[in-house]
Chain A
C-alpha cells in the first residue's frame, strides 16, 4: 500500500470511473486530483506535477495517446493508460510512446493499484544501483548479479540473466517483446520472437516452482512479459480455481 501520500492525477471523461478510482486511490493513501478532459489534465499536470497519472485513452478533446506524447515531451512522470479492449499493437504503441503500463477496461482497483505501486517503485527506486529485487520466492541482486530462489543460489546463462535483469528492473511492469529482443539480442526483428519464447521457457524451468503454471514470469498476450512482485497482502486476489495437478516434469 502507498505510504508516502503520493499525488495521483486521474484524467478520464467518465465521472463514475473517476469516482471509483478516487475511492480506490484514496483508500490506498494517495491524494487524488481529477480532470475530465485532456485540456484540464494537461493544465493540472503542468501546474502541480503529480507523482502518478492515470490517463484514459478516449478523451473528448484529444486522444489519450496525444496527451501522453505531450506530457512525455517535458516530463517522465509515471503514466498508466486506461483503454477499452485495445489491440496488442495499440498497447505496444502506447508503451513505445512512453506509457509505463496500461490497464484494460474493465479492471479491478487492486490490479490498477498494483501497477501504480510498480511504476512508482521504478520511478523512485530506479536509480538505486545496488537494488535487490524480490519477486515471490525469487531474489535478484542486480549489483552482485546473484539470483536466489528460496534462499538457494541458482545458476543462469548469460542471456537468461539478461532477461531476468531487464524484467527485474521493471518489476511489476510489462516489458514489450520488442524491447527484450532489442536489449538481449540487439535485434528487434519480430521473427526472432521464438528465441525469446524458448529463453523464457528455460528461465522458467529454473525460477518457477512449476514452469507450466508460472507465477513469477508472466506472459502478456501479444505484448510482452512481466515479472510479478509476488503475493502481496495489500492485493487480495482470489485464486480459488487452482487445485492443479501437474503431471509434466
Chain B
C-alpha cells in the first residue's frame, strides 16, 4: 500500500516522483565479507549434520549386514552417503561425509574393531582407496550439482525476464512502468533501487535521496542536470559497494535516473549483475519510449480537438452575435431614412445614438475575433502596393461617426511613395489610433491626422490633445488586454485594440509608436511603414501614355 500511495503522490506531482523500496525480502549478497562467510557456514552446518546422519545410518545398515556375516570388509558402502551429500548439498558436506565414512569404516569394521588402527594391509589399501574415490566422487558430484544450479538459476532468470516483459506490456502509464522496474530490481533481483525523478530538476530534499550515500546522490543529480543518457557504475568510496546509475529518458521525456546498488563482490559477479540490470532497463526503456510516443500522440490529438473547438466557438460567436447586431443596425438605418424620423430633431439623434452604440459593440466583437485569430493562426498578410492616402481616408471614413465630436485636420503630404502592405490590416490599426484619439481626448478638441514621407519610410500619424501617457503606461501599451489604471473606471475598452493594431503593423514590416510629453498633454501615435520610391518614376512613365 505504501508503494501505491507513493505512486499516487507522484502522479499528483510528477516533479517529485520518488520511489523507494525497502531492503529486499530475498536477502541475497549483502553487507560484508565476514558476514557472508558466517552465513555460508551457518547454511552449511545443517547440511553437514545431515550428511553425518546419513553416514551414521549407513553404519547401522552395515552393522546389520555384518551381523549376519554376509560380507567381508566393504568400506565402499560409504560411497552412498557421500554421493547423496554431494549431489544434494555440495562439496563441503560430501567431503565431511567422505572423511566420516572413512573413519567409521576404520573404527567399526576394520579389525581390530573399535580402534583406528588397522592390521590388514589389504584393508589399509581398501580404506585409502575408498577415501580417494569418495573425495573424487564428492568433488565431481558437487561440481555437477553446481552446474545444474547455475542452469536452474539461468532458467529462473529467463523466466523472470519473461514475466517482467509481460508485466511491462501491461503497463499503460509511465508511473506503472517505473513501479514495475523497481519491483523487478528490488524484489526479484534483490537490489536496493531508488528512482530519482527528472523533469522539474528533481526534488533533492526528499528523504529517500538523503538515504543514498552522498557521492552517489551527487552523481545521480549531476546526471539528471546534464540530461546525459548513459549508464555508469560508481564505487562508493566508504563502503566500496558498486552502484549503477542509469538515466531513464527517451527522445520525448526525461524521466530521471534510476540508482541501483549492485553490492559487493568479484568484478565478474558485478559485471554479470550489471549486464543483467542493463538488459532489464533496456527492455523497460523500449516500452517507455512507446508509452511516451503514445502520450505525445494523444496530446497532439487533444490539441487539435481543442483548436477545432475554439474555431467552432469563434465561428459561433461571430455568427450569433453579429447577426443580431446586423439586424439592429439594419432596422435603425431604415428608421433613419423615414422622413418622419429624419426630419425630427429630437428623435433622429436618438436613432443615431443607437447606431453608434451598435457599431461600437460590433467593433468590440471584431476585436475579440481578431485577437483570437491572431493567437490561434498567426497573421499572414497578403501584401501589395497601396497608396498611403487611401489607407488614411478609408480609416477616417470608417470612424467618421466616432470622430464627429472632434475637430479633425488631415494633412497628407504630396507625392507619397507607395507602401507594400495588406491594406485592410493597416486600416484597422490606423482606425484604432483614431478611435483611441477620440476616446481619450475632450469632445471639441482637435485631432490631427497626417501622412508624410520620412527617408525610406512613410509615417501615418494621429495627434490628439487628450489624456497623454505616463511613462509606465507607455510600457504597457502593446500588451494584450492591458488597460491604463487611470482610465479603467471611466473609459470603456477591452485593451485589445492597440495590441491588435501593433500586431498587424509589425506583421506588415512596420512599427507602431506612441509618444506623449506627459499626462494630460496629448498623445501622438505613428505608424511607420517601409516605402520603396525607386520604382515610382519608372511607373510614372508607364502610366503617362
Answer whether A and B are interacting partners. Answer: yes
Contacting residues, chain B, for A14 (C-beta < 8 A): 323, 326-327
CB–CB A245/B385 < 8 A: no
Binary A-proximity of B512-545 (CB < 8 A = 1, otherwise 0): 0000000000000000000000011001101111
Q: Is the interface of B mostly helix, strand, loop or mixed?
A: helix
B482 to chain A minimum Cβ distance, whole angstroms, is 25
- Verify if A48 is at the interface (C-beta below 8 Å from B): no
- Verify if A129 is at the interface (C-beta below 8 Å from B): no
Q: Which residue of B lies closest to A23 (CB)?
A: B334
Q: Which residue of A lies closest to B544 (CB)?
A: A157
Q: Which residue of A lies closest to B532 (CB)?
A: A194
CB–CB A221/B382 < 8 A: no
CB–CB B404/A106 < 8 A: no
B461 to chain A minimum Cβ distance, whole angstroms, is 14
Selected interface stretch from B12-20, B52-60, B280-288, B407-415:
B407-415
Contacting residues, chain A, for B359 (C-beta < 8 A): 106
Given that A194-B539, A197-B386, A248-B414 are known contacts, is A21 also in contact with B330, CB under 8 Å in the complex? yes
Question: Which of B330, B355, B410 has the most chain A CB atoms inside 10 A of its CB?
Answer: B330
Selected interface stretch from A35-43, A94-102, A132-140, A233-241:
A233-241
State the CA gap A246–B324 with chains docked (Å): 39
Contacting residues, chain B, for A221 (C-beta < 8 A): 390, 394, 423-424, 427
Q: Which residue of A lies closest to B394 (CB)?
A: A221
CB–CB A213/B543 < 8 A: no
- Verify if B33 is at the interface (C-beta below 8 Å from A): no
A200 to chain B minimum Cβ distance, whole angstroms, is 7
State the CA gap A173–B63 with chains docked (Å): 133
- Verify if B250 is at the interface (C-beta below 8 Å from A): no
CB–CB A110/B337 < 8 A: yes
- Verify if A49 is at the interface (C-beta below 8 Å from B): no
Contact-size category for A: 35 or more
Selected interface stretch from B94-102, B133-141, B179-187, B395-403:
B395-403
Binary B-proximity of A173-198 (CB < 8 A = 1, otherwise 0): 00000000000000000100111011
Q: Which residue of A lies closest to B324 (CB)?
A: A16
Binding site for A on B (CB under 8 A): 318-319, 322-334, 336-338, 342, 352, 355, 358-359, 362, 366, 369, 382, 384-387, 389-390, 393-394, 396, 400-401, 403-404, 406-414, 418, 422-424, 427, 535-536, 539-540, 542-545
25 A-B residue pairings within 8 Å (CB atoms): A14-B326, A24-B337, A27-B337, A84-B322, A85-B318, A88-B382, A105-B322, A106-B322, A106-B329, A106-B359, A110-B333, A160-B543, A190-B384, A194-B385, A195-B542, A198-B418, A198-B539, A198-B543, A199-B543, A201-B389, A213-B393, A221-B424, A222-B382, A244-B409, A248-B413
